[in-house]
Amino acid sequence: MAKLDTRTTRLGAVLQFEERPEYGYCRKVVTVNEETAKNYVVGTVLGKVTADGKYKVLEATAVDGSKDFGGIYIGSPDGHDAQAIPATTDVEVVILYRGPAGVGDGYLVFGESVDTAGEKEAVYAQMDAVGIAVLNQPNQFA
């Protein structure tokens, strides 16, 4: 039988609340640069590279500073919920980087090396430190 459900995660599934959304108080446009091509979807957790200030997918094994929370991808500057990021190319994206805000944990997307509960809890603590509450919310599409 053919797969009928082709929905993708939307911003409303990830972002449960935010302070002053009409002003973009908790959001900013940043530059990402990945070593290999990636596809960002809403909820992708990013880290910030210390040397150049650019962002990339958060990996627990990173040694360039991007193992620490920098923001959550919430869309492209033109409003799309997903974005193809070519390898070694600077691309602008919109992130949620501070609170007050709340996100559903079931829709957060981490790098492959963030694979234990302890590693996720450490990132959640970093989110909490900048005012982003991580809410227990199972992914209804999984």
User: What are the DSSP calls for 25-66, one per residue?
Assistant: TTEEEEEE-BSS-EEEETTBEEEE-TTT--EEE--TT-SSST
Measure the CA angle with vertex 80, ends 76 and 81; round to 5°: 95
Residue 88: helix, strand or coil by DSSP? coil
Q: What is the pLDDT of residues 15-41, one digit of tens each?
A: 999 998 888 899 999 999 999 999 999
Q: Is the pLDDT of residue 2 over 60?
A: no
Q: Are 103 and 12 in contact (CB under 8 A)?
A: no
Q: What is the pLDDT of residues 55-106, one digit of tens each?
A: 999 999 999 999 999 999 999 999 888 999 999 999 999 999 999 999 999 9
